[in-house]
């Protein structure tokens, strides 16, 4: 595959293979993206909220048609599930997992140990505890969440977003993390070993963002991730896979296929499985004309996914949402449109219609060399 560079802003549209329109093929196949993924031995999925399943039948039908994998957008985060010490509310996650079971979908668990979205009581409790108590405060959530979904959640984001070079550490680790402050970098070792003991069948992920673009920001993050993996592998920490979140921002940073391909090869070199776990595209800064913007978004998505799916360790692609109707991008200060229009960074528009981005994802799966489909 000849690889190219996409310049931030004026995307080099001519530099990529045209994305066939699904609308021309609508009569041929209303197959969802999961069918395209399955033919390449992979999975396609999306992040969802239980409220969407309860209240939006059109969206729910689209998830059932397009996905064979789901992940909770926020309802397995400890701030939602353990609002008071030892008092749990898994009702949202239970509904999502019941939906996945009903539709014979795989499910991810997001996230066991993260610096964010923690309940307010946890930080103070960590400060008061001794070393053993601090470890228990972290692993107690693993002890409750993993067994609850054993056999239903096949892979977990055990540690999410451990990297943050802007925090000033030489090794690029996230210093402003309650876990790093409570236990040092060993929090990662403890979390993965505990998760392995708790559910030996689960695939254990280390996930992070800002690993995708050709920019100083992302280069620092990739370097920190590779150095972290060197240390974790040397300490025989049971990391099975790396999740590349895949939140692209093509109107702010360049994308270079060769550079990203080399990084994925480096990750595969550790013997790790790979997944894109939160794929979406921030279109703020793109052309005001939605149609033109859609085509540019599709072009960079195809360029990104062609590289991702060219790596035989890449097992699945999940979007962070399926429809622009519910994208976090439309509400996040850095990415939302000042005029209130929806971000158009997901495969379906606000009316559940397929967009060129849908075509790009389907075409990337269709062009990918098939791999043996993982059962786990």
- Binding residues for ligand G3I, per CB under 6 A? 73-74, 77, 117, 209, 245, 278, 328
Q: CA neighbours within 13 Å on the CB side: how many for 344?
A: 24
- Between 83 and 168, name the residue whose CB sits nearer to ligand G3I: 83
CA distances from 162 to 167, 178, 188, 207 (A): 11, 11, 8, 8
CB of 114 to ligand G3I, least distance (A): 7
Spatial separation of the C-alpha atoms in residues 319 and 101, rounded to whole Å: 19
- Between 59 and 365, name the residue whose CB sits nearer to ligand G3I: 59
| Relative orientation angle of helices 290-308 and 257-268, to the nearest 10 degrees | 40
CB of 74 to ligand G3I, least distance (A): 4
Q: Tell me the pairing of strands 241-244 and 203-208.
A: parallel
Please say whether the beta carbons of 319 and 347 come within 8 A.
yes
- Between 77 and 336, name the residue whose CB sits nearer to ligand G3I: 77
Q: 3-state SS string over 251-280?
A: CCCEEEHHHHHHHHHHHHCCCCEEEEEEEE
303-330 residues labelled b (16+ CB within 10 A) or e (exposed) = bbbbbbbbbebbbbbbbbbbbbbbbbbb
| Residue 256 C-alpha from the chain's centroid | 20
- Between 36 and 49, name the residue whose CB sits nearer to ligand G3I: 49
CB of 188 to ligand G3I, least distance (A): 17
**Residue 174 dihedral angles phi and psi, to the nearest 5°:** -75, 105
CB of 223 to ligand G3I, least distance (A): 20
CB of 67 to ligand G3I, least distance (A): 17
- Between 278 and 349, name the residue whose CB sits nearer to ligand G3I: 278
Nearest residue to 163 via CA among 233, 115, 216, 230? 115
Polymer length in residues for the chain: 376
- Between 269 and 332, name the residue whose CB sits nearer to ligand G3I: 332
Spatial separation of the C-alpha atoms in residues 70 and 316, rounded to whole Å: 11
CB of 149 to ligand G3I, least distance (A): 17
CB of 320 to ligand G3I, least distance (A): 6
Spatial separation of the C-alpha atoms in residues 352 and 85, rounded to whole Å: 40
- Between 26 and 55, name the residue whose CB sits nearer to ligand G3I: 55
- Between 6 and 335, name the residue whose CB sits nearer to ligand G3I: 335
Give the residue closest to ligand G3I by C-beta: 328
Count of beta carbons in the 10 Å neighbourhood of residue 134: 21
- Between 156 and 365, name the residue whose CB sits nearer to ligand G3I: 156
CB of 316 to ligand G3I, least distance (A): 16
CB of 209 to ligand G3I, least distance (A): 6
Q: Tell me the pairing of strands 43-48 and 5-6.
A: unpaired
CA distances from 91 to 98, 198, 264 (A): 10, 22, 36
């Amino acid at each position: 595959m000849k690889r190219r560079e996409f310049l931030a802003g004026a995307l080099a549209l001519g530099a990529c293979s045209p994305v066939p329109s699904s609308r021309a093929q609508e009569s041929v196949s209303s197959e969802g993206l999961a069918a395209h993924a399955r033919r390449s031995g992979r999975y396609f999925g999306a992040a969802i909220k239980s409220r969407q399943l309860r209240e939006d039948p059109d969206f729910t039908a689209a998830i059932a048609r397009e996905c064979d994998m789901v992940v909770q957008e926020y309802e397995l985060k400890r701030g939602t599930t353990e609002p008071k010490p030892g008092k749990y509310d898994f009702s949202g996650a239970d509904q999502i997992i019941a939906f996945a079971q009903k539709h014979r979908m795989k499910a991810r668990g997001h996230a066991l140990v993260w610096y964010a979205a923690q309940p307010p009581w946890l930080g103070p409790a960590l400060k008061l505890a001794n070393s053993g108590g601090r470890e228990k405060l972290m692993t107690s959530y693993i002890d409750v969440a993993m067994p609850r979904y054993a056999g239903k959640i096949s892979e977990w984001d055990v540690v999410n977003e451990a990297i943050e070079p802007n925090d000033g550490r030489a090794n690029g680790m996230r210093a402003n993390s309650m876990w790093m402050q409570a236990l040092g970098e060993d929090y990662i070792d403890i979390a993965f070993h505990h998760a392995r003991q708790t559910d030996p069948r689960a695939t254990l992920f280390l996930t992070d963002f800002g690993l995708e673009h050709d920019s100083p920001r992302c280069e620092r993050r990739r370097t920190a991730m590779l150095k972290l993996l060197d240390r974790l592998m040397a300490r025989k920490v049971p990391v099975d896979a790396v999740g590349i979140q895949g939140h692209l921002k093509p109107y702010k940073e360049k994308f270079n296929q060769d550079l990203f391909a080399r990084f994925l090869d480096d990750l595969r070199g550790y013997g790790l499985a790979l997944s894109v776990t939160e794929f979406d595209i921030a279109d703020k800064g793109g052309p005001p004309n939605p149609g033109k913007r859609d085509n540019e978004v599709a072009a960079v998505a195809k360029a990104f996914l062609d590289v991702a799916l060219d790596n035989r360790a890449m097992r699945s692609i999940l979007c962070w949402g399926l429809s622009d109707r519910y994208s976090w991008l439309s509400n996040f200060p850095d990415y939302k449109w000042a005029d209130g229009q929806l971000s158009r960074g997901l495969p379906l528009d606000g009316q559940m219609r397929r967009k060129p981005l849908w075509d790009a994802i389907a075409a990337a799966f269709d062009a990918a060399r098939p791999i043996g489909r993982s059962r786990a």
